[in-house]
Amino acid sequence: MSQHPVSSSEPRPRRALICGIGGQDGAFLAALLHQKGYEVFGTSRDSASCNRDGLRRLGIEHEVQVLSMATNDFRSVMMTLSRVAPDEVYNLAGQTSVGLSFEQPVETIESISIGVLNLLEAIRFTGLPIRFYNAGSSECFGDTGDAAANEDTPFRPRSPYAVAKVCAHNLVNNYREAYNLHACTGILFNHESALRPRRFVTQKIVMGARDIAAGRLKQLTLGNLDIERDWGWAPDYVEAMWLMLQQARPQDFVIATGRTVSLAYFVERAFAQFGLDWRQHVRVDHSLLRPSDIRRGAGDPSRAVQQLQWAARHDVDHVIADMCRAARAADGTAAVGSDRPMKKPLHVEAA
């Protein structure tokens, strides 16, 4: 699409700006908003090199205008907000890897917390009636133990990534209270899909099982199989993001399925999808363990169920089955999670 200034005097549909549109959530959110009639803009540090694979695979690459914006550069953020004049801003930008945050803690803190601060300040300076969604993380809770975390559970971050997310969460709360901004954070537990790149353990497991079944790989190496997580379906979760910005009063929500299983369970079910016994093909390498890891992450989405009328439609078994179906479909065309386009748009059940 051509990039040109938009006249605010012209009647127009609602306009959304998705910061960090190149990832899994950005693509699914763009598809949802486009379906709802929004004019969708996305940002990437460099629009010319933005990863459009997710948009392409969902068949909406040409329905989204991608702009260059660096969230850690206040001037860049101000210029983008002034140009687009969005009704809603969804911040999905910043470093996304817990493991990488231990190796790049400074970049992680800056890309997440400073990025959120710049967006909040820019919204305040423009004076536009923008509704702001910030992508939080269940990593903020640390190890939840036997109790499922809700909005009142204290944060106990155990990684630089989680520390940065806690800082961003507190900034959103502060600006909401101090400046009356319509700003909120979605505290999302793990959510997956076939758009996940292979560096995420869920996709690594699915692709590994597929490649072993096809004879291309002999063994899959993983870290701690005893960790437990609440894994949901990404298209369900972007719907929750949108619902949060439709509320008259902004507030934070925990978004989860309410079901927690071990990584070993995920591995077993994924390998079973390809007719394999995972115990014959998986090796545990303790060098892959993180300096500090979360044993169990469990979420309580009761507030979202009651106030947003949102509930996860798909649990971990659906996630595993769908990711494995996509891996089979991609075999021989393009690898799931790669930068090469698939021959056909990815089919995803409607959220």
Residue of 77, 171, 174, 165 whose CA lies nearest to 128 = 77
How far is it, in rounded angstroms, from Cα 184 to Cα 180? Answer: 11
Whether 137 sits among the annotated catalytic residues: the reply is yes
Please write down the long-range contacts of 266-269, taking CB distance under 8 Å and 24 or more positions apart.
Answer: 266/202, 266/205, 266/231, 266/316, 266/320, 267/205, 267/222, 267/225, 269/316, 269/317, 269/320
Among residues 44, 113, 137, 159, the one annotated as catalytic is 137
At 14, is the secondary structure helix, strand, or coil?
coil
- In 130-233, beta strands by DSSP E: 131-135, 182-188, 191-192, 220-222, 228-229, 232-233
Query: Is position 38 annotated as part of the catalytic site?
Result: no
From 39, 61, 88, 139, active-site residue = 139
How far CA 59 is from CA of 53, 114, 341, in Å, comes to: 10, 33, 11
The token duo for 69 is: 């914006």
Active site residue 113: no
Residue 32 contacts by C-beta under 8 Å, 6 or more apart in sequence?
235, 238, 239, 242, 351
Out of 38, 161, 175, 237, pick the active-site residue.
161
Instruction: Give the CA count within 13 Å in the CB-facing half-sphere of 238.
Output: 25
Residue position matching structure tokens 């695979």 = 57
For residue 124, give the DSSP letter: H
Q: Which two tokens stand for residue 116?
A: 């959120």
Q: What is the dihedral of CA 343, 312, 32, 109, to 10 degrees?
A: -90
Write out the catalytic residue numbers: 137, 139, 161
